Amino acid sequence: MKQGVGLAIGLLAVSVAAGGGYWLGNQGAPAHGKGATALASGSLKKARKLLFYRNPMGLPDTSPTPKKDPMGMDYIAVFEGEDDVENASDPSASRQVRISTDKIQKLGVRSEAAQLRRLDKMVRAAGRIEADERKIYAITPKFEGYVERLHVNVTGQAVGKGQPLFEVYSPELISAQREYALAVQGVESLKDAGTLAQTGMKQLADASLQRLKNWDISQEQIHTLSTSGEAKRTLTFRSPVSGIVTDKKAIQGMRFMPGETLYQVADLSSVWVIADVFEQDIGLIKQGGKANVRINAYPDKLFAGRVAYVYPTLNAATRTVPVRIELANPGLLLKPAMFAQVELSEMSSALIQEPVVTIPTSSVIDSGTRQIVLVQLGEGRFEPREVKLGARNDSNVEVIDGVKGGELVVVAANFLIDAESNLKAAIGGFGGAATSAAGSPGAVGHQAAGKIEQIDAKNATLSIEHGPVASLKWPAMTMEFKLANPALQRDLKPGATIDFEFVERQAGEWVITSLKPSAAKPHADH
């Protein structure tokens, strides 16, 4: 009996031990069941650790908790390991702006790579043809007289060197001729006289001859006079050069006084071009540089010349400096007073001659105090950078600092990216408070609904009756908007209701950046 009780107690103890072990085993089961799933989930959460929430428009603004921006857009969660975090160590990451791919296409954004190139600037200037001042001759008698006869009677007539222009009669001239003729005869008659008499007569003849020479009497006429001893009633004036009569004041029968200009003859075989070069370009011009000249009258001809002189004075009214270019004029095609378009291509040593990093001039946003470019970092990501610029030509500008060769810069729709992404606020990260043209913080997109009243396809504008705009505290009204892209007006008709987004490009100028048909009717109260 006692043996049976002992056996029963032993079996019970084994059962309790086994049950206790099973219970204890179940208490440790989390190492293999639901507990394992929880641990795995915990490790996953650790891999996707939430860091902060960033502004949806790319502004340098973050929040540790979910929030909305002034336009009602939710801030975007940023987890450890994402691009935003990878860029967090880069100070420029907070200045990056983001634009959706759809809006990039609508805005017409275009980028080009910064390139190494040599900047050979072409200075262009307006000019005019002028006669070479060194080849203009005035025919001016040095005695009093009368115009007896005209051989050249029209302005603009071509004359050859030595060609007779006019004949004059002068009592003084006749008297001087007779005096010389008598002196020559006296010298001849006193050959056998004493030395003193010969010397005196010779001096008188020389003085009479010099008087005639001072009056520009030709050597041929003097020889005829000394040979024949007969004074001519008239004296013929001849052209000193081949050229064009540019001024004629002589009239047949008129009386003239000593020093009065009767004819002016210009040699136009070569001419001057006086080009007015702007003040900022004058440092690039050097004497001897090449110049190409085009004349409207001969669009198919290019005249080549050289810079002969850079004038030392500046025209205060036009802020230009005259530059003289000398041109050959075969066929006398170039007429004084013609307008000319001048290209000066050979620059001074002050201009950089070696290849440098350059970007298109259209990529630069100039605020007046600094220059900014938008560098494309990836699809829809842009970074505003302040750059230091150097030499430039018509289409490109040298970048001394801020952009490296090969980096993509935005060359089209810069101001629209500015508006869409609130770029000016992002630029404020450089350390200055950015303001719009109106003086308020940088441009922000606004949303509204309305009905199209009128469409001006030529100027790409819409007159819209819209409802209140909360972001601007506007009441309902009718006003005119410009379209950022003329393609936005496709399929639009007056009376259509639309939802649209717009920005202030400059003070008082409102530009629609996107629109779509709306089923809701706009607010019509005014």
Do 407 and 488 fall into the same domain?
A: no
The yes-or-no verdict on residue 304 having pLDDT over 50 is: yes
Sign of CA dihedral 521, 523, 525, 526: negative
Asked if residue 313 belongs to a domain, the reply is no
Q: Are residues 203 and 236 in the same domain?
A: yes
Is 435 a domain residue?
A: no
Least confident of 107-111, 265-269, 385-389: 107-111
Identify the weakest region by mean pLDDT among 38-52, 143-157, 264-278, 385-399: 38-52
Last residue of a domain, one of 216, 235, 260: 260
Evaluate whether residue 82 is within a structural domain.
Answer: yes
pLDDT digits (tens, 9 = 90+) for 147-177: 999 999 999 999 999 899 999 998 888 888 8
Per the structure, the complete domain to which residue 422 belongs is given by: 104-118+354-430
Q: What is the CA radius of gyration of the chain?
A: 47
Any idea what the CATH number is for the domain that residue 405 is in?
2.40.420.20
| Helix orientation angle between 171-189 and 219-228, rounded to the nearest 10 degrees | 50
Question: Is there a single domain that holds both residue 225 and residue 178?
Answer: yes
Size of the chain in residues = 526
Q: What is the pLDDT of residue 132?
A: 93
Asked whether the whole model's pTM tops 0.85, one would answer no
426 token code pair: 């992002």
How much is the pLDDT for 7? Answer: 38
Higher-confidence residue of 159 and 205: namely 159
* Mean confidence (pLDDT) of the chain: 77
The answer as to whether 491 is a domain residue is yes
CATH value at residue 507: 2.40.50.320
State yes or no: pLDDT of 24 exceeds 50. Answer: no
Token pair for residue 176? 């001087």
Mean pLDDT computed over 344-370:
72
- Of 160, 15, 59, nearest to 425 by C-alpha is 59
Kindly state the tokens that stand for 504. Answer: 């202030």
Q: Where are the beta strands (DSSP E) in 282-350?
A: 290-295, 298-310, 320-328, 339-344
Domain boundary, last residue among 380, 398, 430: 430
Last residue in a domain, options 397, 430, 463: 430
**Whole-angstrom Cα distance, residue 469 to residue 467?**
7
How many structural domains are present in the chain?
A: 4
Mean predicted confidence (pLDDT) in 456-469? 89
For residues 512 and 455, state if they share a domain.
yes
Q: What pLDDT is attached to residue 513?
A: 85
- Do 512 and 486 fall into the same domain? yes
Could you tell me if 207 and 236 lie in one domain? yes
Average pLDDT of span 265-277 = 94
